[in-house]
Amino acid sequence: MLYALMGLGLSLITGILNIPNFAHGALFAIGAYLLVTTVGVIGNFWVSLLLAPLGVALLGLIIEYAGIRRLYAAGHDYQLLFTFGLALILSEGIIVVWGPVGFSHLPPQILRGGVDLGFTFYPKYRLFVMVAAGLLILATWLFLEKTRYGAIMRAGIENKEMVSLLGIDIHKLFTVAFALGAYLAGIAGALTAPIRGVNPNMGVDMLGIAFVVVALGGLGNLLGAIAAGLLIGVAQAVVAAYWTEASTAVIFAVMALVLLVRPQGLFGIR
Amino acid sequence: MKRRDILKVGAAAAGLGFPAIIRAQPKEIVMLGIWPATGAFSDVGPILDRGMRMALEERDMKIQGRPVKYIVRDSATAAGAATRRVEEAVDGEGAKFVIGPWSSGVALAVSEVAKRKKVFHYFSGGTEDISGSRCHRYSFQWAASPYTAAKTVVDNFMKANPKARRWHLLVADYAFGWSVEKYIKEVGKTHGIEFVGADRHPLGEREFSNYVQKAAANRPDAVAMINFGLDAVSGAREIFNFGLTPKVPLIMTWSSGVEELVQLTPEIRENIWVGSNFYYTADTPVAKKFVAAYQAKFGNPPGYAPSAAYGMTRMMLHAFDKAKSVEVRDVITALEGIEVQDLVGRMRVDPKTHQTLRPYFFMRCKPKSAMKHPTDFADIIATGDTPLPAEYAACKDLGSF
C-alpha cells in the first residue's frame, strides 16, 4: 500500500510536469523526520501524522513555485537536473538538521504489538498502515475522479495546452499537483517511520521502488501506479515466503518481465 | 651589482640550497584509509576515519622521525570502486600501508590488490577468508575469527538460557554472513541447538516483515541475526514490531555495538543479546584512554567501527616499532607473531594465518530503568578468545613476499 501511495504521488507529478521527480524520495524521508520531530515536540502521534505531511506539501509548493516554475521555459532537461540536485540538497539537509545516524520511532501505544490472524501473526501498526494508505489512495482517487479540480488535473495530464486554452491557470495546476504529490510522499514517509525508523538514506531506498511502480503502471498513469504498487507489494510478499533471498530482486524482475511484454506499462503511458 | 647578477646569484643559491632543504626532509610514509563515504555503510566511513586519525595523532603523525601522510579514499562499498582507488593511491600517491575497507566482500577484493601491489593491508570484518582460504603475506585480519565470535556468543547465551534450544537464524547473504553462520551452527551442535529456520537476506535489506513472519511461524526459543549495520537495526526493529522481542530473546551475533544500539529505542533493545568486537566499557587501560579521548572530542562513546580503525592502526604502529624499519616487508614480518596488551586486552597475531587473536565481547542490553545515561546500553557479561581450531583453518600457506 505504501508503494502504491508513493507511486501515485510520483505518477501525478510525472504526468502533469512530464518529468520524473528525483526529489520524491527525499520528500518521503522528510515526511518521516517531520513526524518524529513533531511527536517529540507536541507528544501526540495522531496530530503529528496530520501535520508532518502538510509540512512536506508546503515544501513541495515552495519547490514548484520558487524552483521548477522558473525552468518551464528552459525545457525538461533543466527541470530534471533541478529535481536531481534538489534531491542531493534535501538529503544532505537531513544530515545537517537531524544528523547522519538514524533512529527508531515506536508506534503509538495502542498500535504496538501484534494480532493473531489465524494463519499468521501480524503487527497492529502495519494493519493500521494498510487501512490508512488504502483510504488515502481512495480519497485521492475520488478527488481526481469526482471533483471538478480533479477533472482539470486529469485533463492537464492528457493535454496541457488544451487546458490552458480553456482559460485555466495551468501554473496553478502544476503547483497544486506538485504539492499533492509531495503530500502523498510525505504521508507515506510519516506512516513508514514507526516501521522502518528514520535514516538519511531512507528516501533513496524508496525512490528506486517508486520509479519501478511508475514505470510498471505506465508513466503518468494514476490507476496504473496504484495497481503496480499493489502488484509489487504482493509479489515481494509471496516470493519472500518461499525464497527470501529473492524478495528484493523480484521487484525489478517483475518490472523487467512486464516491460518486455508491455513496454508502455500495465495501463499505458498518459 | 647589476640586477642580472643578483638574479644569477639568487638562481645559484636556489639551485644549491633548495635541494639541500629537500634532502633534509625525511621521506613521508603514506598511509591509506579506504573507508566508505558513499553507498552502504556510508554512515560509518567518517567514524572509521576518526579512529585511524586518532591513532596516528597519538604519534604526532610521525613514525621513526618520519612524517606520516594519511590519505583517505572512498571505498563506496563496491569492489570495483575500492580496488581502483586503492591502486590509484598506491601508484599515484605512493601509499604502502592500507587499512580498510568496512565490507568483507570489498575487503577480499582490496586484499588481492595488496597482494599484487605488495603493500601492507589490515582489515577488520566478519569474513574468515582474509586469514583463511584467501590468506597471503600482505593482508591481516583484526576482528576476532568468526569461530571465536560464534563460540563466545553461543556458549555464553546458552549458559544464561539453557532451555533456549530452538533457534531461527537471519543471515546476511555475503561472505561475512556465511562465515559466522557456519560456526554458529557448528558450535550450536555441541549445545544440542536445533536450527528451526535460517533465512538469508541481501545486503541493504530494509523490509524484514516477510523474514520475521517466517521466523515467528517457526516458534523459536531465540532468534539470532548474523547481519550488520542498518540491516541489523532494521531487523531488530521489525522483530520488536511483530511482538517477538522482548518475549523471545534476540541475539545480534556480530554487532557494531554503539552504532547499532543507539538507533534502537530502549523498548526495542529489551532482551537483546549482543556480540561485538568492541564495547566501550572494555576494561583495559588502552580502551579507557581511547574512550575518554573519543568522548571528549566527539561527545559520544566509540563503537566497533572507530575502535577497529584505531585498533588496527595501533597494531600496525606496534609492528613499526618492533621492526625499527618503515619497509613493508619488515613491518609485516614484525607483525607476524607480535604480542601486545592493547585495545581489547591481550592481542596476538597468528604468524601462520595473519589472524589477530583477541577477546570477543558478549553483552546483554539493559532495560530502560537500569540505564544510568542515554548511552548506557548494555553490560559486558562475558568475553571469549577461543581461537579457530587447527582442523578448521583454511589458510595452509601464506606464501612468500
Q: Retrieve residue B348's grid coordinates.
A: 596476538
**Residue B242 to residue A125, Cβ atoms within 8 A:** no
CB < 8 Å from A in window 141-180 of B: 173
Q: Which pLDDT value is given to residue A132?
A: 93
Task: For residue B8, name the pLDDT band (cuts at 50, 70, 90).
Answer: low
Domain boundary assignment for chain A: 2-106+116-204
pLDDT for position B17: 47
A interface mutation test: which of B48, B169, B207 has the most A CBs within 10 A?
B207
Whether B243 and A247 lie within 8 Å, measured CB to CB: no
Do the domain assignments include residue B183? yes
Number of domains chain B contains: 1
Looking at residues A8-22, what average pLDDT do you find?
82
* Banded pLDDT at B21 (limits 50, 70, 90): very low
CB A177 within 8 A of CB A108: no
Confidence of residue B18 (pLDDT cuts 50, 70, 90): very low
Decide: B82 and B99 in contact? Cβ < 8 Å: no
Note whether A199 contacts B: Cβ–Cβ < 8 A: yes
Residues B130-147 pLDDT 10s: 999 999 999 999 999 999
Give tens-digit pLDDT for B56-74.
999 999 999 999 999 999 9
Residue B125 maps to a domain: no
Q: Is residue B181 part of a domain?
A: yes
| pLDDT of B43 | 79
| Among A219, A226, A233, residue whose Cα is nearest residue A263 | A219
State the pTM of this model.
Answer: 0.81
> Is B266 within the bounds of a domain?
yes
Contacts of B239 in chain A (CB under 8 A): none
Flag whether pLDDT at A71 surpasses 90.
Answer: no
Is there a domain that residue B167 lies in? yes
Among the residue ranges A144-148, A245-249, B163-167, the one predicted with the least confidence is A245-249
Over residues A100-111, mean pLDDT = 88
CATH classification of the domain holding B208:
3.40.50.2300
Please give the ipTM for the structure prediction: 0.75
List the single residue in A104, A202, A245 with the smallest CB-CB distance to B263: A104
- Does residue B113 have a pLDDT over 70? yes
* Confidence class for position A269, pLDDT limits 50, 70, 90: low
* Average of per-residue pLDDT values in chain B: 91
Say yes or no for a CB contact (<8 Å) between A197 and B234. Answer: yes
Provide the residue range defining the domain that includes B252. Answer: 146-281+359-390
Residue B293 near residue B273 (C-beta atoms within 8 A): no
Which of A102, A202, A248 faces B202 most closely, judged by CB atoms?
Answer: A248
Let me know: does B178 contact B171? Beta carbons within 8 Å: yes
Chain A residue numbers with beta carbons less than 8 Å from the beta carbon of B263 are: 101-104, 197, 199
User: Which of B19-28, B33-42, B361-370 is predicted least confidently?
Assistant: B19-28
Asked if A108 has any chain B CB less than 8 Å from its own CB, the reply is: no
Chain A contact for B268 (CB, 8 A cutoff):
yes
pLDDT band with cut points at 50, 70 and 90 for residue B22: very low
Tell me if B382 is assigned to some domain. Answer: yes
Q: Do A121 and B216 touch (CB under 8 A)?
A: yes
Q: Is residue B374 part of a domain?
A: yes
State mean pLDDT over B3-25. Answer: 48
What is the side-by-side order of every strand in the sheet holding B345-349?
A: B339-342, B345-349, B356-357
Lowest mean pLDDT among A126-130, B291-295, B357-361: A126-130
Helix (H) or strand (E) segment spanning residue B26 = none
More confidently predicted of A138 and B41: A138
* pLDDT of A15 above 80: no
Give the residue, A170 or B182, on which the prediction is more confident. B182
How far, in Å, are A118, B52, B354, B384 from residue B217 at the CA level? 11, 44, 42, 33
B326 domain-assigned? no
- Quick one: average pLDDT of B340-357? 96
Contact B262 A205 (CB under 8 A): no
Cα(B197)–Cα(B46) distance, rounded to whole angstroms? 36
Q: What is the pLDDT of residue A30?
A: 96
Strand partners, B122: B99, B140
Nearest-CB residue to B264 (from A104, A195, A248):
A104
Range picked from A72-76, A149-153, A155-159, B48-52 for highest mean pLDDT: B48-52
